[in-house]
Homo-oligomer: A and B are copies of this chain.
Amino acid sequence: MDGGAPDLAGLLERIAADVAPLIGSGTPAEYIPALAEVDPRHFGMAIADLDGNVHGVGDWRVPFSAQSITKVFALALALAEGGDSLWRRVGREPSGNPFNSLVQLEHENGIPRNPFINAGALVVTDRLQTLTGDASSELLEFLRAESGNPDVSFDAEVAASEHEHGDRNAALAHFMASYGNIDNPVPALLDHYFWQCSIAMSCADLARAGLFLARHGLRADGSRLLTRSEAKQVNAVMLTCGTYDAAGEFAYRVGLPGKSGVGGGIVAVVPGRCALAVWSPGLDSRGNSVAGVAALDRFTTLTGLSVF
């Protein structure tokens, strides 16, 4: 990291070479057609330093569907806008169950375990909607600003596809509403949620957008989004809950706060140092990018930059 561009370029090339045999293994998400059609041979990786300089390898400038990665940005905005009263409505414990489980929700009376399972993300979006009046637009503006890329945008086809296959999320939202844990009308909430999931970004965009977590809360323009303590907290929730029910495995192998999406992307943070993004569509059985996790594993092994 400290050696500047030449070394970083070499590091990224080496990681890309190391994980090349894994690219194309795993299975792209199949629950919506718009994701199932993506070419599984993509691979890209980008690193952004604290000043916003980005280096990349492979398809690091190709936009893909960010999906659940957007949940970490929505969480940060909801905390920034509304403070920690959010935690009365959503927990911060890892879930032992798959990411869209209703079992847990029922055992805990409509309070999702954490903000990164789908139920928890719906609560976060509901809160952001109440706070801002337009949750998905607010999020999009933030991502454009932090990535420095005004072309970051919703993908209408993906959003429509999510909507069409949205019965599971509708079930989650109605179920929480039955416990009084949803403030906005369910159909409107689902619309914002599906738009949020559809946002398309590249590794370069995502690495830059994640820098406020490496900068202990400071945005690209130097203004403060989160207090140092809040930034620590978001990183902690990412580490313990950011990769579905494989968070323990991700911590064990990679040892960094990270948030994955079923589009095959992962954002990771080295507090005080840099932010990374990686993308390859083939997923393992728990919904995380096979080549993406391996690339981050190589990164922390080669650099020693794990938090542990």
Q: Are A233 and B252 in contact (CB under 8 A)?
A: yes
Bound: A251/B172 CA distance, A: 27
CB distance from A83 to the nearest CB of B (A): 15
Given the known interface contacts A102-B106, A106-B101, A252-B92, the answer about A167 and B178 at a Cβ–Cβ threshold of 8 Å is: yes
Interface residues of A in 89-103 (CB under 8 A from B): 91-97, 101-103
Task: Among A113, A246, A249, find the residue whose CB has the most chain B CB atoms closer than 10 A.
Answer: A249
**Per-position binary interface string of chain A over residues 161-190, scored 1 when its CB falls under 8 Å from any chain B CB and 0 otherwise:** 000010110111111011000000010000
Which one of A15-23, A191-199, A235-243 is at the interface? A235-243
Q: Does A257 contact B (CB under 8 A)?
A: yes
Bound: A105/B171 CA distance, A: 12
Q: How many copies does the complex hold?
A: 4
Given the known interface contacts A97-B96, A175-B168, the answer about A241 and B232 at a Cβ–Cβ threshold of 8 Å is: no
A residues with CB within 8 A of B: 91-97, 101-107, 113-114, 165, 167-168, 170-175, 177-178, 186, 228-229, 231-233, 235-237, 239-241, 245-249, 251-252, 255, 257, 271, 301, 304, 306-308
Given contacts A233-B252, A236-B308, A241-B248, 18 further A-B contacts (CB under 8 A): A91-B248, A93-B248, A96-B96, A96-B113, A102-B102, A103-B103, A103-B106, A171-B171, A171-B175, A228-B304, A232-B255, A232-B308, A236-B248, A239-B240, A239-B251, A240-B240, A271-B308, A307-B307
